[in-house]
Amino acid sequence: MNPMAALGGILPLPAPANAYTPPTNPIVVIGEQFLAPYPVELKIQQKIFTLAENNFDVTDVNGSLIFKVKGKLFSIRDRRILLDAVGNPLVSLKQKILTVHRRWQVFRGESNSSDDLLFSVKKSSFLQLKTTLDVFLASNTSESVPDFRIKGGWHESGCTIYAGETIIAQMHRKHSLQTVVFDTDNFGVTACPNVDYAFIVTLVVILDEINADRSGDD
């Protein structure tokens, strides 16, 4: 599928060509249409004054909408849906309750069937001074070694996403007068070339959900 068609003719602008080294093989988890041969810069911003909590808009460097993240209205807070710019559901994010490692599962479309499971994310250990999340593809049933890993600080001002020892994306929290006054979340995300940036956005949203849930309440 042509990425331009998938995003309604809008593609994130490239960062400088020498900023990142592309992975040896493309990393595709959600879809090949979310690959680019250059670093992709995105902004994830929480929408304020919404009835459903933790809704996000994901835009490119020009402010053009790329993705939306929504929770179901009046539902419990453990379900999110990633949609494309025109509202088509891409994946569903669901937290498994009563798990000590705060496991989230991600399914294709709006499904919650095990047949449509793409990957899951959980804390690497119960007690952590610095957040580390392990990411397992659905095919990795043994989960002896994570396929990807997310590492971030206590206040989560930033995080780095790895495939093995290779950095595939980075996130940093952005602060402005609006984010201070309204306590909103505003993230800058850079996905390396040939890395599925819809996958990266989903991981950052899950990281934010897990950090917001440190009190232990589901």
Higher pLDDT, 156 or 125: 125
Of 130, 103, 50, nearest to 218 (Cα)? Answer: 103
CATH node for 3-212: 2.40.160.200
C-beta neighbour count of 25 within 10 angstroms: 8
C-alpha 61/C-alpha 76 separation (Å) is: 32
Task: For the chain, give every domain's residue range.
Answer: 3-212
pLDDT at 36: 95
pLDDT at 79: 84
pLDDT at 212: 72
Instruction: For 12-30, write each residue's pLDDT tens digit.
Output: 444 444 455 667 789 999 9
The CA R_g of the chain, rounded to the nearest whole Å, is 16
Instruction: For 50-106, write each residue's pLDDT tens digit.
Output: 554 558 899 998 999 999 998 865 455 578 999 999 999 999 999 887 665 679 999
Helix, strand, coil % in the chain, rounded to nearest 5 = 15, 35, 50
